[in-house]
């Protein structure tokens, strides 16, 4: 069986598409038509247009159907800038293990080509481009995120960082997991309005999986985090 959802047997139909794309179609489909006929392959097509165009193949129409949607999606995210290069690298093993163990979990991270190159092999992972602060504040307020990550390695540049990601994660409607030996300990009480963990990868894997499996606990911790944010806003 050879299935087509695009017109792959007529290069003139691809006019206007990039040369590299047309060349790909030529190599993978167009040049194999004679071989497919010699193999007596059945041609499956997805649209009436294709059915009419390739009726000499006596094709079978296969109509599109919606994919089955997952019953639950738990989005974990890390929104570090390029100054967090080492944290981004450190987090890879953590999220690889998490994604392998719980298929409900998806991961969202911000970064450029280097980050995309490292993370693109992970399942259910989205790498978003860096954006302006105004765009980010609107984006982070969109619902759907459950667990936010804020790892910090023990480096001189990190010693001056504040606990602002506590605000971002809470604004996202998520519960945060934060580096223990950092400024986050000033606003986060472990197990109440977030998690404080040492920078040991297995601890982060276990904490993410635990929170992903306990909606009631996440809801209570998020409510506590929002109360903390409101208290800090009032000075």
- DSSP assignment of 166-227: HHHHHHTT-EEEEESSSGGGGT--BTTTBEEE-S-HHHHHHHHHHHHT-HHHHHHHHHHHHH
Q: Enumerate helices (H) and strands (E) in the chain, giving the number of each.
A: 9, 9
Q: What is the pLDDT of residue 162?
A: 83
Q: What is the domain count for the chain?
A: 2
> Is 134 domain-assigned?
yes
Q: What is the pLDDT of residue 92?
A: 97
Q: What is the pLDDT of residue 70?
A: 74
> Is 69 domain-assigned?
no
Distance, in Å, from the CA atom of 52 to the CA atom of 158, rounded to the nearest integer, reads: 64
User: Please, which pLDDT band fits residue 215 given cuts at 50, 70 and 90?
Assistant: very high
Q: Does residue 162 share a domain with residue 81?
A: yes
User: Please, which pLDDT band fits residue 170 given cuts at 50, 70 and 90?
Assistant: very high
Distance, in Å, from the CA atom of 50 to the CA atom of 2, rounded to the nearest integer, reads: 13
> Is 67 domain-assigned?
no
Q: What is the pLDDT of residue 145?
A: 96
Q: Does residue 169 share a domain with residue 132?
A: yes
Q: Is 106 helix (H, G, I), strand (E, B) or coil?
A: strand
Least confident window among 23-27, 117-121, 160-164? 160-164
pTM for the structure as a whole: 0.80
User: Please, which pLDDT band fits residue 52 given cuts at 50, 70 and 90?
Assistant: very high
> Is 38 domain-assigned?
yes
Distance, in Å, from the CA atom of 60 to the CA atom of 45, rounded to the nearest integer, reads: 6
49, pLDDT greater than 90? yes
Q: Does residue 103 share a domain with residue 53?
A: no
Q: Does residue 79 share a domain with residue 55?
A: no
Q: Does residue 82 share a domain with residue 18?
A: no
> Is 68 domain-assigned?
no
Q: What is the pLDDT of residue 69?
A: 79
Q: Minimal CA–CA distance to 166: which of 82, 234, 235, 79?
A: 79
Q: Does residue 121 share a domain with residue 37?
A: no
Backbone angles phi, psi at 44, to 5 degrees: -105, 130
Average pLDDT value for residue range 169-190: 93
Task: Find residue 4's DSSP bridge partners.
Answer: 45
> Is 208 domain-assigned?
yes
Name the residue range of residue 44's domain.
2-61
Q: Does residue 165 share a domain with residue 96?
A: yes
Q: Does residue 173 share a domain with residue 78?
A: yes
């Amino acid at each position: 069986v050879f299935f087509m959802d695009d017109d792959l047997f007529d290069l003139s139909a691809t006019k206007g598409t990039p040369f590299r794309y047309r060349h790909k179609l030529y190599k993978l489909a167009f040049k194999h038509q004679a071989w497919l006929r010699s193999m007596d392959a059945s041609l499956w097509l997805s649209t009436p247009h294709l059915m009419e165009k390739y009726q000499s193949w006596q094709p079978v129409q296969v109509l599109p159907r919606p994919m089955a949607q997952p019953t639950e999606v738990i989005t974990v995210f890390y929104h570090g800038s390029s100054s967090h290069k080492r944290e981004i690298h450190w987090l890879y093993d953590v999220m690889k293990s998490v994604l392998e163990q719980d298929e409900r979990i998806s991961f969202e991270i911000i970064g450029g080509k280097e980050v995309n190159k490292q993370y693109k092999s992970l399942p259910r992972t989205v790498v978003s481009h860096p954006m302006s602060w105004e765009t980010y504040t609107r984006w982070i307020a969109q619902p759907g995120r459950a667990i936010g990550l804020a790892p910090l390695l023990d480096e001189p540049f990190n010693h001056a960082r504040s606990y602002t990601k506590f605000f971002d994660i809470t604004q996202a409607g998520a519960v945060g997991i934060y580096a223990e030996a950092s400024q986050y300990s000033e606003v986060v009480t472990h197990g109440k309005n977030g998690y404080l963990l040492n920078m040991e990868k297995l601890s982060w894997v276990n904490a993410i999986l635990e929170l992903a499996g306990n909606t009631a606990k996440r809801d209570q911790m998020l409510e506590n985090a929002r109360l903390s944010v409101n208290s800090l806003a009032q000075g």
